[in-house]
A and B are shown apart, each in its own frame.
Chain A
Amino acid sequence: MEEASRTFSKKLSWLVASENKRTALIILLWSLTIAASYLQALIQRAYMTLFDYALVVVLCFIAGTIIMDVGRALLGYIAAVAVGTIIMATVLIFPATSNLIPYPGNILIPSLWVTVVFTATFPFPFIGYLVATVVGSIVGERYF
């Protein structure tokens, strides 16, 4: 059991063997958490609550803490937000483009979703997440 755990741990260690690999992994997870956090809120009620925003702020802080380097964290944040937004927009808009909603409803609903996602992300949430990322990376540099 102990041996199996060690083997598994070694395989997982490969993912974080270098800073580049670790950063790539964190950006991937980061984009998924941003997308998932937004999706679980928007699919339930089409808007974000303070709790949802706070959740993403905390996740950005943690991601920044893990990455540690401020420059990498900033670039990682941009990449994560971009990928996360694409994932979330695709999941939200794709079923609305089917022929179940007649024209022009099938164009109106996707454009509404684009507006909802944009207003839920910019400008203050974007700035807030950025600040949390930078603060997290500074904390990570200091304490790790």
Chain B
Amino acid sequence: MLFAKTSRRNQLTIFFAAVTLVLLVVATVGAVNYYQFYPAISQIRASMNSLQTTLVTNSPGNYTLQVKVAFSVENPTGYNGLSLKHFEATYDAIAIFSPTSNSTFTGGAMAYNPASGPLNSGNTVGIAYPTFNAPSNVAQIASNPQNRIEFVFHLHFVLSSFLDKVTMVIPSYDCSGSGGPADCGQTGITVVTAPGGSGGGGGSGGGV
């Protein structure tokens, strides 16, 4: 009733204040979620779910080391709005001859994996690779039971978010093991300007 008795100008002022309040509530809710964004991208967890190696004897003295590996990426935080795209991995194989002697062999890039999916709070995306062959020299070394082969997988993927139009966030991980599951350690977060997006030059982050 009192609202009806006030002048039109005051009514419009009250309406303006009410709209301001509504917008502030909406913006605050968004800001609370946004403030979880940067901690979330540093807490995204990658794991090596399984690593199986099989030594195949093709002929006497000729061996093939078949490797089958699967990874998963999980968002353990409360932030919603992330998704995984463009998963890529390379690997190295470390031949351990003795506690004080080892050699590293570059395995190179693994086959492109189209795995992608949402990484909302609590979500996990699985990435499974088909069986591939390790370099032949690694297989030869693995044929000696006294030697041990350890694989180091270097993962990186694009973490899609609301910032996609202006920047790409690319976390990197290293996973090592000789068989079985293992956790991966985050080695860095790279931030680059998105193709065609506004912004200055690119940049990359170092290790955390």
* Chain B positions within 8 Å of A116 at CB level: 166, 198-199
Task: Please provide the chain A residues from 64 to 83 with a CB less than 8 Å away from any CB of chain B in the complex.
Answer: 65-66, 68
Contact of A43 with B30 at beta-carbon distance under 8 Å, contacts A5-B2, A112-B167 already known: yes
The secondary-structure label for the interface of chain B is helix
* Chain A positions within 8 Å of B198 at CB level: 112, 115-116, 119
**Cα distance A6–B27 in the bound complex, in angstroms:** 32
* Chain B positions within 8 Å of A37 at CB level: 23, 27
Q: Among B8, B20, B30, B200, which residue has its beta carbon within 8 angstroms of that of A33?
A: B20
Check if B27 sits within 8 Å of A102, measured CB to CB. Answer: no
* Chain B positions within 8 Å of A57 at CB level: none
Task: Please provide the chain A residues from 84 to 119 with a CB less than 8 Å away from any CB of chain B in the complex.
Answer: 91-92, 95-96, 98, 100-109, 111-112, 115-116, 119
**Cα distance A32–B190 in the bound complex, in angstroms:** 34
**Cα distance A9–B203 in the bound complex, in angstroms:** 55
Q: Which residue of A has the minimal Cβ distance to B14?
A: A12
* Chain B positions within 8 Å of A135 at CB level: none
As a 0/1 sequence over residues 191 to 208 of chain B, the CB contacts with chain A under 8 angstroms (1 = contact) are 101000011101111111
Shortest distance in angstroms between B118's beta carbon and chain A's nearest beta carbon?
A: 16
Instruction: Tell yes or no: A144 within 8 A of B by CB.
Output: yes
Task: Please provide the chain A residues from 31 to 74 with a CB less than 8 Å away from any CB of chain B in the complex.
Answer: 32-33, 35-37, 39-40, 43-47, 59, 62-63, 65-66, 68
Contact of A115 with B199 at beta-carbon distance under 8 Å, contacts A44-B30, A98-B38, A109-B191 already known: yes
A-B contact pairs, 21 of them (CB 8 A): A2-B1, A9-B6, A16-B10, A29-B20, A33-B19, A33-B20, A35-B27, A36-B23, A36-B24, A39-B27, A39-B31, A40-B30, A46-B164, A46-B165, A62-B16, A100-B39, A101-B189, A102-B207, A103-B206, A105-B203, A105-B204
B residues in contact (CB < 8 Å) with A: 1-2, 6-10, 12-13, 15-17, 19-20, 23-24, 26-27, 30-31, 33-35, 37-39, 41-42, 162-167, 188-191, 193, 198-200, 202-208
